[in-house]
Amino acid sequence: HIPRALYFDLEKDLSGPVQTHGGRHPLPDFAELVAKLSAAGIDQYTTVVAYDDQDGAMAARFWWLLRYLGHSHVYVLDGGYTKWKEAGYPTTEEVVTVEECTFVPVYQPSLLATVEDVRQAVEQATAVLIDSRERKRYLGIEEPIDRVAGHIPGAKNMFWKDSLTDAGYWKQPSEQEKRFASIPKQERIIVYCGSGVTACPNVLALSEAGYTNVQLYVGSWSDWISYLEHPIATGEN
């Protein structure tokens, strides 16, 4: 890992237990997460750089969670661990110890969309829905993870990896603006994926592109299909 980096696990630290509803990666217990952040020496004044080795998906999830907790000094490492190694920068197996501090959360509920918000968006067009999954999954042609294929009715498909260049770096803000040019900046946007992880890179990209009213549907597709009465769309419609 990068020297002095600390480890947060998607399943154990950045997600809560799977239940009937809430999706495959529901929100973690925030009291526990705040305690873990404090133990990692992170308070509201600490600059945090998140990285992973999976094109930024896990790092963006961590970025979103800290933003939801009111932490504004958090960033995602462009290119992640892969580009760090390719550049010849140092790596280590040493696990550092840090001095604990007290993280004080200031929750930002406007960053979160509930399943009720999404239902309203479907029924009354109160928000633009963005599906961040691969196109085959969006169209319902294949579904390798969840038990039902398709997408939330009315959602636009914008694959999260299109946030990145072919070289694996994040596209510039001007390029992100072009990606989302069909969506007016004053619109309310709700972003989802399969389980609320790979939607986060699109949330970050929208932020870089200058969109300010963007919410994450954490439960995402895996939560939507847990309600048998919810409508499901396939194909281009």
Residues designated as active site: 193
How many CB atoms are closer than 10 A to CB 213? 15
Residue 33, helix vs strand vs coil:
helix
User: CA 34 from chain center: how many Å?
Assistant: 18
Distance CA 214, CA 212 (A): 6
Write down the residue that tokens 């550092």 correspond to.
96
**Residues 91, 2: contact at Cβ < 8 Å?**
yes
Show the tokens assigned to 230.
């919810």
Residue 151, helix vs strand vs coil:
strand
Show the tokens assigned to 160.
């999260």
Pick from 155, 2, 168: nearest CA to 81: 2
Write down the residue that tokens 């039902």 correspond to.
148
Pick from 7, 20, 10, 207: nearest CA to 111: 207
